[in-house]
Amino acid sequence: MTSSFRSSAEALSERIKVSFEFFPPKNGDMESQLWESISRLAPFQPDFVSVTYGAGGSTKQPTLNTITRICDETELAAAAHLTCVGSDKATVDAVAREFQAVGVNHFVALRGDPPEGVGAAYEPHPEGYANGAELVAGLRAIADFEISVSAYPERHPESPDFATDIDMLKRKVDAGATRAITQFFFDNDIYERYVERVRRAGIYIPIVPGILPIHNFGQVARFSKLCGASVPDWLARRFDGLEKDPETRALVAAAIAAEQVNDLVERGIDDFHFYTMNRAQLVYAICHMLGLRGDDAGSVGAAA
């Protein structure tokens, strides 16, 4: 490696920012897996780590417990997901204040999926926030939080067209959103066209690509259909015949995600949000290939 190439690689790694999404564990084994993943990824010094929140507050306590432990035992900046499905405004505001009390200053504000699941008809609570834009405004009324919101490169499955979808994003920004994180996608041209549409609409907050390493292709393909994300034919062919070969499947998944991220870097993107699924191995490999390095001893205190 020449010194000029090495300098270029080091400059790139210093420019790259990452963040990681986790979900609250349902049992002891899942909790161990979660904290092993946090311990493994913490040395990359993510911009923040977020913890998801179930529809209608169904994971409120596990989410709060996880967020509290992150704040108490690590130096990581924790962001709490918050939804408004099935709750009145007072309840949502009270939850936001509970998160704030344990050290949260960053929310990922989402309308949320109906309790019946993705694809079911959404009905706002009669005394609640009707959508993500109203939720952002409600959070802004509590404190000067950092607020991330969702964005959909292939549009939200309930939006009739891109104009309606981008108008909702603009309403979120006008209400005080500071960052948008996209739904996962596998075609970078789709992401780039979406960002161009967003900029033409006068929206200039960061549009951070959401990256989903594929641990289980079948599950990802099924979920993609529900949420409106396309799965290219070439991607399906990469996993063809690997159903009973987990080691090769993991290698293929890491290569695909690394190709996607490296291509985005070449297009000028330097901020990435990883949907970890509480698994560190693939995300760790991708970050390493991006040139990120950290103290392998970890930095999560008692959780390590």
Dihedral over alpha carbons 189, 190, 192, 194 (to 10 degrees): 160
What number of other Cβ atoms are within 10 A of residue 117's Cβ? 9
Which residue from 255, 195, 256, 251 is spatially nearest to 231, judged by alpha carbons?
Answer: 256
Choice among 14, 21, 31, 259 that is catalytic: 21
Question: How many other CB atoms are found less than 10 A from the CB of residue 7?
Answer: 10
75 is catalytic: no
Within 10 angstroms of residue 6's Cβ, the number of other Cβ atoms is: 10
What is the rounded CA–CA span in Å between residue 186 and residue 226? Answer: 15
Please report, as a single letter, which amino acid is at residue 203: I
| Range 7-11 contact pairs with CB under 8 angstroms and sequence separation of 24 or more | 9/291, 10/291
CA-CA-CA-CA dihedral for 217, 221, 227, 229, to nearest 10: 90
Indicate which residues carry an active-site annotation.
Answer: 21
